[in-house]
Amino acid sequence: MRKPILGALFSALLTLIAAMALRAADATLAVAAVAAVAVLFTWYAQLHSTEERGTLGLANPASAVTLAVVGRRPWGTLLPVLAAHTVGAVIGGFVALALEDKLGDTLVFTQPGLVVTAVGAALVGLLGAWVTLSIDGGGNETLSAVPTIVAGAVLPLGLIAAFQPAAVIGLATAGLVPWDVALVAAGVVLAASAAGAYAVSLLVPQE
Whole-prediction pTM:
0.90
Q: Mean pLDDT throughout 135-153?
A: 91
Give the Cα separation of 202 and 206 in Å (integer): 9
Model pLDDT, residue 67: 94
Average pLDDT in the chain: 89
User: pLDDT by residue (tens digit) across 76-115?
Assistant: 889 999 999 999 999 999 999 998 877 777 765 667 789 9
Give the structural domain span for 29: 2-203
**Helix, strand, coil share of the chain (percent; to 5):** 75, 0, 25
Model pLDDT, residue 207: 47
Q: Mean pLDDT throughout 177-190?
A: 95
Q: Mean pLDDT throughout 31-54?
A: 92
Model pLDDT, residue 110: 67
Sign of CA dihedral 161, 7, 38, 194: negative
Q: How many domains in the chain?
A: 1
| Residues 157, 27 contacting (CB under 8 angstroms) | yes
Q: Count Cβ atoms within 10 A of the Cβ of residue 50 and give its class: 0-12 exposed, 13-18 middle, 19 or more buried.
A: exposed
User: pLDDT by residue (tens digit) across 151-173?
Assistant: 988 888 889 899 999 999 999 99
The three-state DSSP-derived secondary structure of 4-59 is HHHHHHHHHHHHHHHHHHCCCCCHHHHHHHHHHHHHHHHHHHHCCCCCCCCCHHHC
Within 10 angstroms of residue 195's Cβ, the number of other Cβ atoms is 17
Q: Mean pLDDT throughout 26-53?
A: 91
CATH classification at residue 68: 1.20.1080.10
Model pLDDT, residue 206: 52
Q: Mean pLDDT throughout 1-25?
A: 87
Percent of the chain, pLDDT > 70? 95
Give the Cα separation of 197 and 125 in Å (integer): 10
Within 10 angstroms of residue 91's Cβ, the number of other Cβ atoms is 18
Model pLDDT, residue 146: 94
